[in-house]
């Protein structure tokens, strides 16, 4: 199953974020283009929302602005860890990358592939303060019991939460659940 793809166009966010951050840094378009290793013409197209820039070039622009990749591509009006921004499009409509969400990382990031049989439960111990998990369900339905409440995550959806609390996973329904789990500190 394909992830849900946000319908908003990330180029609009990139354009306004780059322009806003460039102006806040007091840089001209030429100065930012030089610092990012791009042509001024390319930067004009980026700020105009007229070009599909490579992810590597976005990283260079972000670094030149002292910002993160997420700062460049996300909707500045969103206050959530859920970003859901289409960040790259290929020539075929089935080729795309969506940045689902982000949390700050200080020291560690782990990528896990989990599978729980129908009805099985896993009780986790709280992680240290500042740790987070990002879970994407591939197949089945996952229940995540958190101190703040219970969440049901269907295939193709995800959850982001602090793992510095007691939590548990449980496979719902009559089939196994498979999910990707990122642990970030």
Domain boundaries along the sequence of the chain: 10-101, 109-184
* CATH architecture observed for domain 10-101: Orthogonal Bundle (1.10)
What is the model's pLDDT at position 2?
A: 38
| pTM (global) more than 0.75 | no
Quick one: average pLDDT of 123-137? 90
pLDDT averaged over every residue in the chain: 84
What is the model's pLDDT at position 139?
A: 96
What is the model's pLDDT at position 9?
A: 64
Other beta carbons within 10 Å of 170: 19
Whether 179 and 126 have beta carbons less than 8 Å apart is answered as: no
Q: How far apart are the C-alpha atoms of 154 and 172, rounded to whole Å?
A: 10
In sequence order, what are the beta bridge partners of 181?
Answer: 112, 135
Please state which CATH number belongs to domain 109-184.
2.60.120.10
Whether 181 and 115 have beta carbons less than 8 Å apart is answered as: no
Q: pLDDT tens digits, residue range 24-51?
A: 999 999 999 999 999 999 999 889 887 7
Q: How far apart are the C-alpha atoms of 177 and 116, rounded to whole Å?
A: 5
Q: What six digits make up the tokens of 109?
A: 């990031």
What is the model's pLDDT at position 146?
A: 96
Half-sphere exposure of 126 (CA within 13 A, CB side): 9
What is the model's pLDDT at position 1?
A: 38
What is the model's pLDDT at position 125?
A: 84
């Amino acid at each position: 199953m394909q992830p849900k793809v946000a319908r908003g166009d990330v180029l609009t966010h990139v354009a306004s974020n780059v322009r806003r951050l460039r102006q806040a840094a007091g840089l001209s378009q030429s100065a930012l283009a030089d610092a990012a290793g791009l042509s001024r013409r390319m930067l004009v197209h980026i700020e105009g929302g007229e070009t599909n820039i490579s992810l590597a070039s976005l990283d260079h622009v972000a670094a030149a602005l002292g910002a993160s990749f997420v700062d460049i591509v996300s909707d500045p009006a969103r206050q959530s860890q859920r970003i859901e921004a289409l960040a790259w499009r290929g020539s075929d409509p089935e080729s795309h990358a969506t940045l689902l969400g982000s949390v700050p990382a200080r020291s560690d990031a782990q990528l896990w592939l989990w599978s729980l049989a129908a009805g099985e439960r896993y009780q986790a111990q709280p992680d240290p303060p500042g740790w987070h998990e990002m879970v994407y369900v591939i197949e089945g339905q996952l229940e995540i019991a958190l101190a703040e409440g219970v969440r049901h995550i269907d295939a193709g959806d995800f959850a982001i939460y602090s793992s510095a609390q007691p939590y548990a996973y449980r496979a719902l329904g009559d089939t196994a659940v498979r999910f990707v789990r990122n642990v970030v500190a």
